[in-house]
Every structure is written in structure tokens, then in C-alpha cells.
Amino acid sequence: MTRSPATPLPPPKECRRLREAASLTQAQLATQVGVTRETVRAWETGRTTPRGRKRETYAKVLARLAGAADAAEGAAREVEGAAGEAEGTAEPERTAEPRRPEPSRKTPRPKKAAAQERPVRDIAPDIEVSARQEPLAMPVHQKQPMPGVAQTVTAVAESVSAGPPEETGSLTPDQAFDALYTFCAPALVRQTYLLCGRRELARESVERAFQLAWQRWPEVAVDRDPAGWVRAAAYEYALAPWHRYRPRYRHPEAPPADPADRALLGSLLALPAPHRRTLLLYDGVGLDLADTAAETEASTPAAATRLMHARETVAGWLPELADPSVLHDRLARLASAERLRAAQPKPVRLAGERRARFWTRAAIAFTVALIGATALTVRTAPTQYEPPIPPGQTVRGVPPKPAPGPLSAEQLALREKLRNESATGPERLIPRVE
């Protein structure tokens, strides 16, 4: 008996795009499918996959939403075509420029736009909807903002997947890693500095994260968000509690020169580590609430609660930062005020290779030592079992050994004779006949 193939579904990001294009919330879509809102959220983030009748119902709803989106796009094209014909009739002497091809409906939108349209009130009603701005990746000397997380991942993915000109050949893993490092490292160092408050630790965390990424490059290269993978590794290393026992990090570093920046950094470092990380990802980097919860390994309501408490705490210390947009600007200015420069990608990659070789050789040496000790033990171990000598036991019926009693007359005479003779001489060596 053969099983019928499962109903095909679009990718999770496409499912979410179709729902948002139809102006439906997760709760409304869950009502149409007959599931809970948390189930729809898990489907759209890719954590779970629908099965059975729910999969068929979900596929039908998505097909209906896709048809409505196609109809809306067709109507928009007709309106644009009619407007173009009217303009051509009114001004025949002007040459019509070739119109750009319409984007496909399957083109994923940037992560920032999704965060702008998605309200936070459906997760936590107490959190105000903040205007999403560019991520925390703007140096002071640049007028143009550096690409955000979604643009970084897209650029690196296109450089890896899209084939370059034939004369240049395909992109090597070294070049792909260097491209990812060049895009992400400068901004990631600034983010990590806001997270831990130490400049040297921020640079070290980013370098260790990229070294780990290079060691696991086959896994990171096919990841849906390589920048998020590296960012999570850098944050975990920067927030490790054992750094306080290292001699180089026992004493605090010099605070920022600006009193306002010093107060903001102090308020951030006073927050608990999970709240600080959630606030930095949402209000600093620009992730939406679902992605923030996924990166911090928490549920979406828990991430919303952490964000709410972190905002309230910072606003209690610095009332002028109650507005999330103002808080984002201040975080960007604080990160850009410090001259934090990341190392070049090649030294980081080579350091990662040296570290990997060192630990590989250490593992081989330990294995060889363990095998040698085992072989020596087998060689010197006895081949025959020798039972131990049992302790003595009392035997019944045997009289105990008598103690020495008084000497007889003959024994006393012999003892006296031996005492009177000299200790040396022939008398002691040659027997005498009497």
C-alpha cells in the first residue's frame, strides 16, 4: 500500500508574505484553518510543518490568498497600462521608456519591512509599536547606512549562489567567508560592545564567532541566516560568566567620554543579560519580535515581556529614551562614538585554522596516550588468576600453644655454662669431647 504524496506548500516566508499581503493577522488565519495562533506562528517561522487535513486546509487558504494577490497585481498592471496609453496619446513625440519588469510575487521582502507592518500588540498589548529604522550598523564617517542583516544575507547568498563571469570561475569558500566577514564584522563589533561594555571583549567575541563559523563552514554556508548564526555565537561568547575570572577582564574599562553615552551604557549594563540582549536585538539591530524570540531561545510572549521590562527600566533611569525611535538613535550614536575596528578576514580565518589544528592534534595525542596506557595495562596484567590468601581461622579441638614456663635444672646449668665461657675462641668453634 502506497501513501499519497503530501500537499505541497510554499516556503514559510512566502506563507507569511501571503498572509500579510491579504492584511490578515495570525489569529484570523488560525481561525480560518482551525488551529491556534501559536501553531500558525510556528508554521511561518519554519519550526513545525502542518500535516494531514490541517495541511490541506492551510494549502487551500494560501492558494486563495495567492489568487487574490495575483488578481490585485493584474488589476494594478491594467491601470498602469491604461495610464501609459493615455500619456502616449497626449504626448506622441516623447519616446516611451522601457518599463521595468514587475517583481514576482514570490520575491521575499526585507526583514525590516515585515517588522514595520507586523504589530506587536497581538503578542504583548503593553508594548507600543515602534517605527523600525536601519539596524545598528552605521559608522560615523559614512553618510550612507551600511546594509542591514537581511541585505547582508541576501548579498552574500547571491555572491555564493549566482555564478560570476566565466573567466573568473566559481566563488571559493575563502572568498564567501571573507565577504560575510566584511559585511557583518564592523557592525557586529559595535553591537557586542553595547552588550558587554568592553571593547577588547567585543572584538574577541566577534573573532571567536567567525572562527567557529569557519570551522563549521559547510553548516553555516547553507544556513538561512548566516549573519544571525554568527551574531548568536558572538553574543553567547560575550555573555559567558567565566570572563569575570580572567585577569585581563577583572577591572572595568574606561567609560565613554560623553556623560549621556556613559549613562546609557551604564543603564544597559545594569539590565539582566536576557533583557539586555532582547532590547539590543529589537530596538538596536531591528529584528522583529518573532526573530528576536528565536535568537534568544525564548517564546514570543517571553521575549515581549523582557522587551517591555527593559524599556521600562531604561525609561525609568533616562526618561528622554521612552520613545523607541529615540532609543534606537541613541544606541546607534553610542556604538558609533567608539572607535571599534574589526580585524581583517584573512588573519581571523588563519587563526581559526590554527586553533582547529591545535585541538585536533591535542585530541590525537590524548587518544594515542589512552591507547598506549591501555596496551601497557594489557601487557603487564597477569594472565592467570591468583586467588588471595585467606585470613587465618580458628580450628576447634586443637589446644592453644603453651607459653614458656620455668626452666629445669639442666637448662639452668647450660645457661650458666654458656655465660661463663668466653664469647670468642676455639671453644665456640670446635666441639670438645668430655
Q: Name the amino acid, one letter, at 211.
A: Q
For 109, the grid coordinates are 521582502
Q: Which residues touch 266 (CB under 8 Å, ≥6 apart)? A: 255
HEC string for 197-240: CCHHHHHHHHHHHHHHHHHCHHHHHCCCCHHHHHHHHHHHHHCC
Q: Check residue 25 and report its DSSP letter.
A: -
CA distance 366 to 363: 5
Q: How confident is the model at residue 366 (pLDDT cuts 50, 70, 90)?
A: very high
Q: How confident is the model at residue 309 (pLDDT cuts 50, 70, 90)?
A: very high
Statement: residue 169 has pLDDT above 60: no
Q: What angle do CA 80, 83, 87 make, to 5 degrees?
A: 135
For 274, the grid coordinates are 536576557
**Arithmetic mean of pLDDT over the chain:** 76
Reported as a single tens digit per residue, the pLDDT across 171-212 is 788 888 988 998 888 889 989 988 888 888 999 999 999 999
Superfamily of domain 12-90: lambda repressor-like DNA-binding domains (1.10.260.40)
Q: Where are the domains of the chain?
A: 12-90, 139-355
Q: Is the pTM of this model over 0.75?
A: no
For 185, the grid coordinates are 564584522
Q: How confident is the model at residue 272 (pLDDT cuts 50, 70, 90)?
A: very high
Q: How confident is the model at residue 363 (pLDDT cuts 50, 70, 90)?
A: very high
Statement: residue 368 has pLDDT above 90: yes
Average pLDDT of the residues in 132-147: 38
Statement: residue 355 has pLDDT above 50: yes
> What DSSP string runs through 102-141?
PPPTTPPPPHHHHHHHS-STTT-TTSPPPPP---S---TT
Do 181 and 210 touch, CB atoms closer than 8 A? yes
Q: How confident is the model at residue 67 (pLDDT cuts 50, 70, 90)?
A: confident
Higher pLDDT, 284 or 132: 284
pLDDT at 358: 92
Q: Which residues touch 360 (CB under 8 Å, ≥6 apart)? A: none
**Percent of the chain at pLDDT above 90?**
15
Reported as a single tens digit per residue, the pLDDT across 148-159 is 334 444 444 444
pLDDT at 136: 57
CA distance to 47, 157, 161, 226, per residue, from 218 (Å) = 22, 14, 14, 11
CA distance 292 to 288: 6
Give the CB-side neighbour count of residue 234, counting CA atoms within 13 A: 32
Size of the chain, expressed as the number of residues it contains: 434
Q: What angle do CA 310, 186, 175 make, to 5 degrees?
A: 130
Q: How confident is the model at residue 423 (pLDDT cuts 50, 70, 90)?
A: low
Mean pLDDT is lowest, of 53-57, 136-140, 410-414, for 136-140
CA distance 43 to 423: 109
pLDDT at 151: 45
Q: How confident is the model at residue 28 (pLDDT cuts 50, 70, 90)?
A: confident
CA distance 113 to 111: 6
Q: Which residues touch 116 (CB under 8 Å, ≥6 apart)? A: 131, 132
Mean pLDDT is lowest, of 51-55, 124-128, 231-235, 284-288, for 124-128
The SS3 assignment for 95 reads coil
Reported as a single tens digit per residue, the pLDDT across 217-268 is 988 888 888 988 999 999 999 998 888 888 888 777 888 888 888 888 888 8
**Percent of the chain at pLDDT above 70?**
72
pLDDT at 79: 53
Statement: residue 167 has pLDDT above 70: no
